C-alpha cells in the first residue's frame, strides 16, 4: 500500500471511482448537451406545431381539418402511399432477394441504382418526370393518349356498370395526364421511396446466408415454396420495418411531389403541399392544424417503428 | 444405395476446386472425405447432393448406376446435413423435421397423423422427445445438429451426406455425437458420406477414408491402411505427426515403416526405436536435447549428429524409465520394422 501510493500519489482520492466511469461533471455536461439538443431540435418544434394549431381553439382546428381541400389532400396523400408502398414492397423484396442470394453480372450496378433516390435531390427527380411527360417532354400528353388507345378506354367506359365501376379511371384513360395529375404524384412518390424496403432487407438477407434455402432445396421444396416458407418468414420483421419507413416517406414527401403536382387545389395537392399553400396565404392556424395531422402520422409511425425494432432486436438476439 | 462420381471437375472462376475426381462409395458404408480446407471435399459433397453442378466436360454422378447428374437436389433423395445446421429459425423443432413431408404435393403427402407419427419417431431416435415445441435458438449446438439430422432423415433419403457435421461443436459433444452417428449408421445401414478436416474423427468412425488435397484425391482406404501405409508425403504429413528426415540416414533399413520420397524419409515418432549409443550397433547417432514425459507417452527430441536435424521419438514411459535417459545422452535412432500386414478388413 505504502509503496504503491508513493508511486501513484494522485491515485488515492480517485481510486473510489471505477475505471469505466467518467467524472461526474463530464457525465452531466455530456448528458446536458444531448438533452438540450433533443429539446431544441425535436421537442420544442413539435410542441410549437400543436400549440400553433390549437391557438385559435379547437373549432378552428377542426374546421381546418375538415375543409374540403384538406380532405382532398389527405385522400391524395393516402392514395399515393397506397400505390407506392405495395409496389415498393414487391420491388424491394425482389431486388433484395436477387442481390442477397444470387451472383450475377451488374449486381453492384443494381445496388447503386437502388440508392440513387437517396443521392438525387427529390426536386430533380420531379423535374425529370416533368421533362419526360410534360407538354414539351419526350412523351407529351397527346402521345400518352395515343399510347393508351383512348378508343378502347371509351368503349370500356361505355359498358354499363363497368364504366361506373371504373369511374375516374375510364375518364382518365380517355384523357390521360401524368404530370400535374395523380399518376405523376404516384410516380414521384414511388421514385423517392424505392430504397427503403430493399435497403432494409439486403443486409438482413445477406447476414442470413443461403444455407436455409439450400436445406429447403434438399428437402424437396421448389423455388416458390422456398421463398414463401423460408426466405420471406425469415425477413418478416425487417420487411415490416422497411414498409413503415417507406410509408412515412411516401406520406411526407414534398420536393419531388411539389414539382409534378401543379398545385391544383382539391385535386393535386398532397398534405405537405397543402400545408405550404395555407402557410403562404397567412392561414397559420390552418397550416399548423394540417401540419399537426402529419406530425401525428409521424408519431404513429415512430411508435410502430420502435415496436418493430424491439421485435427485430429480439429476433436477432435469438439468432445468435 | 451406392454412389459413384466419375471424373468430376469444378472451377470457380480461376480457382480449381475439383480436378477430375472419381469416387466410388459402396452401399451401406460410412465414408469420410478428409482434407485440409480448400481441398475440394465440401464441393464434391455438394455436387453429389445436387447443390452445385460440375463443369461441363465432367463425368457424372451415379446412384446405384443410375445417372443423376441432371437431377435437381430435391429429387435425388438425399439427406443433407449442413455444417451450421441451417435449421429453419422461424419453425419449431417438430415443424423443422416435418418440413420435407409437408411441402410434398398433395398426392404424395402423408396424412397429418402419419407426419406427426414420423416426427415423434425421429424425435425419439435423436433423444429429444420433449423438445419438439422448442425453436432452434433454444437448443444447444449438439441438439441442433441432431435435429438437422432428423430433418434430413424424415424424407427417408437413400443417401446421407454430412458437411463437417461436428465442426462447430465443442470437443466433448463432438466425441459423443460422432460415436452416436457411427452406432446409428450401423443400425440403419444408410450409405453415408461425411466431410471433415479432423483426421482423428475420420479415422475413428469411417469405414473408408478418402484423403483429398489440392482438388484431387490423394488416397482411399480403410482408416488403418491410410494411417499405416500412406502413399504420398501429403497423406503422411496430414494423418498424424511425422518426422521428415533428410537422407542419407543410418537408421533407415530395408523393410522399415519409413516412406521415402525425393530424398526425404517420413517416419512417425512412434515408429522410431531408440537405444543408447554403442559402436557395434546400426543406427543414426543423435543427441537428446529434450524429454517431455507428461501423459501416457513420453516424447523425446534428439538432434542428429550429422546435420543437426531435429527428430521426435515417442515411446511408452515405462520404456523411458528403463532407458534411464537424460538430456545430453548420445543415442542411436532406427526406423522400426514394418508392422505385420493388417488383415484387410471389409470395405
Interval A13-17 mean pLDDT: 60
* B210 has pLDDT over 90: yes
What is residue B136's DSSP assignment?
A: G
- Both A157 and A237 in one domain: the answer is no
* B325 has pLDDT over 50: yes
Q: What is the pLDDT of residues B18-69, one digit of tens each?
A: 888 899 999 999 999 999 888 889 999 999 999 988 888 888 899 998 899 8
- Structure confidence at residue B253 (pLDDT): 59
- Both A169 and A243 in one domain: the answer is no
Q: Tell me whether B74 touches chain A (CB under 8 Å).
A: yes
How many CB atoms are located within 10 Å of the residue A132 CB? 15
Do the Cβ atoms of A212 and B79 come within 8 Å? no
- Both A301 and A163 in one domain: the answer is no
Contact residues for A212 (Cβ-Cβ < 8 A; gap 6+): A230, A231, A234, B86, B87, B88, B89
- Both A33 and A169 in one domain: the answer is no
Residue B48, CB-side half-sphere exposure with 13 Å CA sphere: 34
Q: Tell me whether B283 touches chain A (CB under 8 Å).
A: no
- Structure confidence at residue A163 (pLDDT): 53
Q: Tell me whether A79 touches chain B (CB under 8 Å).
A: no
| B269 and B313 Cβ atoms separated by less than 8 Å | yes
Residue of B260 and B165 predicted with greater confidence? B165
- Closest CA of chain A from B191, distance in Å: 17
Interval B324-331 mean pLDDT: 82
Do the Cβ atoms of A218 and B90 come within 8 Å? no
- Both A91 and A111 in one domain: the answer is yes
* Residues of B in Cβ contact (< 8 Å) with A230: 88
- Both A67 and A199 in one domain: the answer is yes
- Both A250 and A309 in one domain: the answer is yes
B92: nearest Cα among B125, B130, B142, B47: B130
Q: Which of A105, A218, A229, A314 to mutate to test the interface with B (most CBs of B within 10 A)?
A: A218
Q: How far apart are CA B49 and CA B79, in angstroms?
A: 8
- Both A108 and A215 in one domain: the answer is yes
- Structure confidence at residue A320 (pLDDT): 47
Q: How far apart are CA B223 and CA B225, in angstroms?
A: 5
Q: Classify strands B191-196 and B208-213 as parallel, antiparallel or unpaired.
A: unpaired
What value does the mean pLDDT of chain A take?
A: 83
CATH number of residue A118's parent domain: 1.10.3720.10
Distance of CA A279 to CAs A16, A69, A87, A275, A285, Å? 58, 14, 33, 6, 9
- Structure confidence at residue A13 (pLDDT): 52
Q: Point out which residues pair with B272 in neighbouring strands.
A: B335
Q: What is the pLDDT of residues A216-229, one digit of tens each?
A: 999 999 889 999 99
- Structure confidence at residue B347 (pLDDT): 45
Residue corresponding to grid cell 395523380: A182
Do the Cβ atoms of B50 and A318 come within 8 Å? no
Would the pTM count as exceeding 0.80?
no
Closest CB to B90: pick one of A221, A222, A234: A234
The three-point CA angle B286-B289-B291 to 5° equals 110
Residue A12 counted as domain residue: no
Residue of A nearest to B159 (CA): A218
Reported as a pLDDT band with limits 50, 70 and 90, residue A1 is very low
Residue A15 counted as domain residue: no
Distance of CA A59 to CAs A64, A278, A293, A318, Å? 9, 17, 15, 51
Residue of A nearest to B83 (CA): A211
DSSP-H helix ranges across A67-181: 68-101, 107-119, 122-133, 141-147, 150-158, 162-166, 168-174
* Residues of A in Cβ contact (< 8 Å) with B104: 220
- Both A204 and A172 in one domain: the answer is no
* Residues of B in Cβ contact (< 8 Å) with A222: 74
- Structure confidence at residue A228 (pLDDT): 92
- Structure confidence at residue B255 (pLDDT): 62
- Both A126 and A156 in one domain: the answer is no
B209: nearest Cα among B22, B25, B46, B59: B25
Q: How far apart are CA A135 and CA A179, in angstroms?
A: 9
DSSP-H helix ranges across chain B: 41-49, 93-102, 112-125, 141-154, 171-188, 199-205, 223-228, 233-238, 317-323
Do the Cβ atoms of A236 and B74 come within 8 Å? no
Q: What is the pLDDT of residues A138-153, one digit of tens each?
A: 777 777 666 665 566 6
Looking at the structure of chain A, the number of domains it has is 3
* A34 has pLDDT over 90: yes
- Closest CA of chain B from A240, distance in Å: 16
Q: Tell me whether B103 touches chain A (CB under 8 Å).
A: yes
Residue A80 counted as domain residue: yes
How many CB atoms are located within 10 Å of the residue B246 CB? 12
- Structure confidence at residue B346 (pLDDT): 45
Residue of A315 and A112 predicted with greater confidence? A112
- Both A313 and A297 in one domain: the answer is yes
Residue of A138 and B17 predicted with greater confidence? B17
Interval B85-109 mean pLDDT: 91
* A2 has pLDDT over 70: no
The CB-based long-range contact list for A138-146 (8 Å cut-off, 24+ gap) reads A139/A178, A141/A176, A141/A177, A141/A178, A144/A176, A144/A177, A144/A178, A145/A175, A145/A176
Give the DSSP H or E segment for B25. Answer: strand B15-25
Residue A82 counted as domain residue: yes
Q: What is the pLDDT of residues B114-132, one digit of tens each?
A: 999 999 999 998 888 899 8
What value does the mean pLDDT of chain B take?
A: 85
- Both A225 and A183 in one domain: the answer is yes
* A12 has pLDDT over 60: no
What is the CA A179 to chain-centroid distance, rounded?
Answer: 21
Interval B148-153 mean pLDDT: 92
The three-point CA angle A113-A119-A120 to 5° equals 95
Reported as a pLDDT band with limits 50, 70 and 90, residue B154 is very high
Query: Which A residues in the span 196-215 are in contact with B, Cβ-Cβ below 8 Å?
Result: 211-212, 214-215
Q: Point out which residues pair with B316 in neighbouring strands.
A: B297
Do the Cβ atoms of A225 and B103 come within 8 Å? yes
Q: How far apart are CA A58 and CA A43, in angstroms?
A: 22
Residue A16 counted as domain residue: no
Reported as a pLDDT band with limits 50, 70 and 90, residue B78 is very high
Do the Cβ atoms of A229 and B51 come within 8 Å? no
* B296 has pLDDT over 90: no
Q: Tell me whether B165 touches chain A (CB under 8 Å).
A: no
Reported as a pLDDT band with limits 50, 70 and 90, residue A30 is very high
Q: Secondary structure of chain B: what % helix, strand, coil (to 5)?
A: 30, 30, 40
Residue of A nearest to B155 (CA): A219
* Residues of A in Cβ contact (< 8 Å) with B84: 211
Residue A112 counted as domain residue: yes
Residue A3 counted as domain residue: no
Secondary structure of B66-101 in the HEC alphabet? EECCCCCHHHCCEEEECCCCCCCCCCCHHHHHHHHH
- Structure confidence at residue A157 (pLDDT): 62
Do the Cβ atoms of A233 and B90 come within 8 Å? yes
Residue A14 counted as domain residue: no
Domain span at residue A305 reads 58-134+179-320
Q: Tell me whether A60 touches chain B (CB under 8 Å).
A: no
Amino acid at each position: 500500500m505504502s509503496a504503491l501510493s508513493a508511486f501513484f500519489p494522485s491515485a488515492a482520492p480517485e481510486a473510489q471511482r471505477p475505471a469505466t466511469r467518467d467524472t461526474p461533471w463530464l457525465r452531466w455536461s455530456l448528458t446536458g448537451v444531448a438533452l438540450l439538443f433533443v429539446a431544441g431540435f425535436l421537442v420544442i418544434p413539435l410542441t410549437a406545431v400543436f400549440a400553433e394549431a390549437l391557438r385559435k381553439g379547437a373549432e378552428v382546428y377542426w374546421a381546418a381539418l375538415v375543409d374540403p381541400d384538406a380532405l382532398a389532400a389527405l385522400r391524395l396523400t393516402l392514395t399515393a402511399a397506397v400505390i407506392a408502398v405495395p409496389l415498393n414492397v414487391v420491388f424491394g423484396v425482389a431486388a433484395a432477394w436477387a442481390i442477397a442470394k444470387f451472383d450475377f453480372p451488374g449486381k453492384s450496378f443494381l445496388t447503386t441504382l437502388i440508392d440513387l433516390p437517396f443521392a438525387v435531390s427529390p426536386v430533380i427527380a420531379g423535374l425529370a418526370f416533368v421533362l419526360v411527360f410534360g407538354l414539351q417532354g419526350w412523351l407529351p400528353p397527346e402521345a400518352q393518349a395515343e399510347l393508351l388507345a383512348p378508343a378502347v378506354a371509351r368503349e370500356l367506359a361505355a359498358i354499363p356498370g363497368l364504366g361506373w365501376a371504373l369511374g375516374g379511371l375510364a375518364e382518365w384513360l380517355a384523357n390521360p395526364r401524368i404530370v400535374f395529375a395523380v399518376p405523376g404524384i404516384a410516380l414521384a412518390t414511388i421514385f423517392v421511396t424505392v430504397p427503403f424496403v430493399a435497403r432494409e432487407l439486403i443486409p438482413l438477407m445477406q447476414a442470413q446466408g443461403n444455407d436455409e434455402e439450400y436445406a429447403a432445396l434438399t428437402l424437396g421444396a421448389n423455388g416458390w415454396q422456398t421463398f414463401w416458407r423460408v426466405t420471406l418468414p425469415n425477413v418478416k420483421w425487417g420487411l415490416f420495418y422497411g414498409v413503415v419507413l417507406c410509408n412515412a416517406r411516401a406520406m411526407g414527401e414534398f420536393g419531388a411531389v411539389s414539382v409534378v403536382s401543379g398545385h391544383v387545389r382539391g385535386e393535386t395537392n398532397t398534405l405537405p403541399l397543402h400545408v405550404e399553400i395555407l402557410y403562404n396565404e397567412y392561414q397559420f392556424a390552418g397550416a399548423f392544424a394540417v401540419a399537426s395531422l402529419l406530425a401525428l402520422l409521424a408519431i404513429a409511425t415512430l411508435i410502430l417503428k420502435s415496436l418493430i425494432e424491439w421485435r427485430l432486436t429480439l429476433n436477432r438476439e435469438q439468432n445468435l | 444405395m451406392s454412389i459413384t462420381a466419375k471424373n468430376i471437375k469444378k472451377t470457380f472462376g480461376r480457382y480449381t476446386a475439383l480436378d477430375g475426381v472419381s469416387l466410388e462409395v459402396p452401399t451401406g458404408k460410412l465414408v469420410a472425405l478428409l482434407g485440409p480446407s480448400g481441398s475440394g471435399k465440401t464441393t464434391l459433397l455438394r455436387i453429389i447432393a445436387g447443390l452445385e453442378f460440375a463443369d461441363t466436360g465432367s463425368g457424372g454422378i451415379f446412384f446405384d448406376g443410375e445417372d443423376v447428374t441432371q437431377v435437381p437436389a430435391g429429387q435425388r433423395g438425399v439427406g443433407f446435413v449442413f455444417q451450421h445446421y441451417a435449421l429453419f429459425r422461424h419453425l419449431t423443432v417438430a415443424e423443422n423435421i416435418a418440413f420435407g413431408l409437408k411441402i410434398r404435393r398433395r398426392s404424395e403427402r402423408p396424412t397429418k397423423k402419419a407426419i406427426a407419427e414420423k416426427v415423434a419417431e425421429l424425435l425419439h431416435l435423436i433423444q429429444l422427445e420433449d423438445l419438439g415445441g422448442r425453436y432452434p435458438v433454444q437448443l444447444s449446438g449438439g441438439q441442433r445438429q441432431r435435429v438437422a439430422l432428423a430433418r434430413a432423415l424424415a424424407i427417408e433419403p437413400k443417401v446421407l451426406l454430412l458437411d463437417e457435421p461436428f465442426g462447430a461443436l465443442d470437443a466433448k459433444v463432438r466425441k459423443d455425437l460422432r460415436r452416436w452417428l457411427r452406432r446409428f449408421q450401423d443400425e440403419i445401414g444408410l450409405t453415408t458420406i461425411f466431410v471433415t478436416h479432423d483426421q482423428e474423427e475420420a479415422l475413428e468412425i469411417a469405414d473408408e477414408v478418402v484423403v483429398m488435397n489440392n482438388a484431387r484425391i490423394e488416397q482411399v482406404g480403410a482408416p488403418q491402411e491410410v494411417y499405416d501405409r500412406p502413399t504420398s508425403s501429403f497423406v503422411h504429413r496430414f494423418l498424424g505427426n511425422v518426422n521428415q528426415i533428410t537422407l542419407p540416414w543410418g537408421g533407415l533399413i530395408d523393410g522399415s515403416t519409413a516412406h521415402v520420397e525425393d530424398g526425404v524419409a517420413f517416419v512417425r515418432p512412434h515408429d522410431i526405436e531408440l537405444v543408447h549409443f554403442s559402436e557395434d550397433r546400426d543406427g543414426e547417432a543423435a543427441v537428446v536435447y529434450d524429454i517431455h514425459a507428461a501423459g501416457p507417452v513420453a516424447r523425446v527430441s534428439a538432434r542428429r549428429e550429422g546435420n543437426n536435424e531435429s527428430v521426435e521419438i515417442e515411446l511408452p514411459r515405462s520404456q523411458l524409465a528403463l532407458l534411464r535417459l537424460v538430456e545430453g545422452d548420445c543415442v542411436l535412432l532406427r526406423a522400426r520394422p514394418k508392422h505385420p500386414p493388417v488383415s484387410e478388413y471389409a470395405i
